[in-house]
Each structure stands twice: as structure tokens, then as C-alpha cells.
Amino acid sequence: MTRALGLLVVATVTAACNGSDEPPGITPAELVAKLRALPGLTSVTVEEHSTSDPNYHYYVLQVTQPVDHEDPSQGTFQQEVSLLHRSSQASVPVVVQTSGYADVNQGHPIELTELLAANQVAIEHRFFGSSRPEPCDPCDWTKLTVKQMAADEHAIIAAAGHARDPVQRWLFFSTGRATLRFARTSGSGRAPHPRTSARAR
């Protein structure tokens, strides 16, 4: 079922993205400036890394997130988010990849990203990889919940819509090991909360 839906989505997006008279996208320098000023996030650092795929610029972001979205007084941690950026043109969708663990792709596009010739955002799961509160000995595992991670993802995806070119409307696909969900952003860049996004298992 998931594979069939994925193929249907690919066909639909491909048909919708064949328009030609598009303005050029923003430059890499403009993109970095937008990423560093993402709204709604308290702190974002951006570093460009090398990648073996010449079609992409590869950026690693460290985003400050609250340990507890319902009680910000509980402190913060740095969440790692990677961006493989191909183009800012309006026809290029964005695949949001969430493995549920550490960022294992390390700058490599997943299959859906390649099929759609898309940009890719990979969000490392809280308390995995380098995305841990400090100190974390031991971590407060009561904050490692689906609800908290959904709030992490929502903050990042909603803010990322503002890094697009002003004429661009991003189509987000979010895919993990068990789910594929997708939602079109509005012109303002706002995305639906992950808990209300369409899902296919």
C-alpha cells in the first residue's frame, strides 16, 4: 500500500512539476542567510559540508529545541538537522526524512528524494546521535516521547517554509521507516501539525 501510494505521489508530482517558465531560485549565500534567520526557532547554526553528489549543497544545522515543549523552563538541547539542497525553484519539492534514530544518511539522498529530484531535510530524533541534552548522564527519558518529537518536527518544518524563495510553494513529503505523510504548505510557509498530516502505513 505504501509503495503504491509512493508511486502515485511521484507520478502526480512529476506531472505537476513539468512547468518550464520558472524564475531562478535563491543563491546558496541567500539560502544560508535565510536558514540562520529561521523564524520561531531560538537559535540556528549552519555549516556547509562536502557531499559526493554534485547536484546538492549539503548543510548541517544545529537547532535549539526545548527539552519539554510544554515547560520551556526544563532547558534546551541542540537538535541536528541536515539539508540537501538542489534548487529553490517552485517545482522542486522537499522530502522530510525522519528515521526515528540518528541521522544515518550523512548527506546522502534517500530513494524518494532521488525519484522526485527533490531537496531533502533529515531530522535527527531527539536523544539520539548528537541531539542530546547536556548533561545526559542519565537523560530524562520521560521527555523521549512521540508527542515531544512531533513538536520538534513541527517547529522545524513550519520554520523551514520561510527559507524558500518568495515565489516558491514547497510540497513537503515526510517519510520514516513506517510512515509516509505529506502536506502542501500555504503561501505563508505554515505547515500542518504532524499529528494532523495525512498518513499511509
66 Cβ neighbours under 8 A, 6+ residues apart: 72, 74, 75, 76
DSSP lists the bridge partners of residue 81 as 61, 123
* pLDDT tens per residue across span 155-170: 988 887 766 655 555 5
- CB–CB of 182/174 below 8 Å? yes
Give ∠ CA 47-132-98 in degrees, rounded to 5.
70
> pTM for this structure?
0.72
pLDDT above 60 for 53: yes
Q: Where are the chain's structural domains? A: 2-18+27-194
* Cα dist from 8 to 45, 71, 98, whole Å: 36, 41, 21
Q: What span, in angstroms and rounded, lies between the C-alpha atoms of 142 and 145?
A: 7
Q: Which amino acid is at 72?
A: P
- For the stretch 123-181, pLDDT in tens is 999 999 989 998 888 889 999 999 999 999 999 888 877 666 555 555 666 665 544 44
Neighbours of 190 (CB within 10 A): 13
Question: Grid coordinates standing for 89?
Answer: 525553484
Q: Where are the alpha helices (DSSP H) in the chain?
A: 2-16, 28-36, 111-116, 146-160
Candidate from 5-14, 87-96, 133-142 with smallest mean pLDDT: 5-14
Question: How, if at all, do strands 180-184 and 171-175 pair?
Answer: antiparallel
- Which span out of 68-72, 82-86, 90-94, 191-195 was modeled with the highest average pLDDT? 68-72
* Least confident span in 66-80, 92-106, 143-157: 92-106
Q: Which residue has the cell 510553494?
A: 169
pLDDT over 80 at 198, yes or no: no
pLDDT at 86: 87
- pLDDT value of position 177: 53
CA atoms within 13 A on the CB side of 187: 1
Torsion of CA 90, 121, 142, 39, to 10 degrees: -50
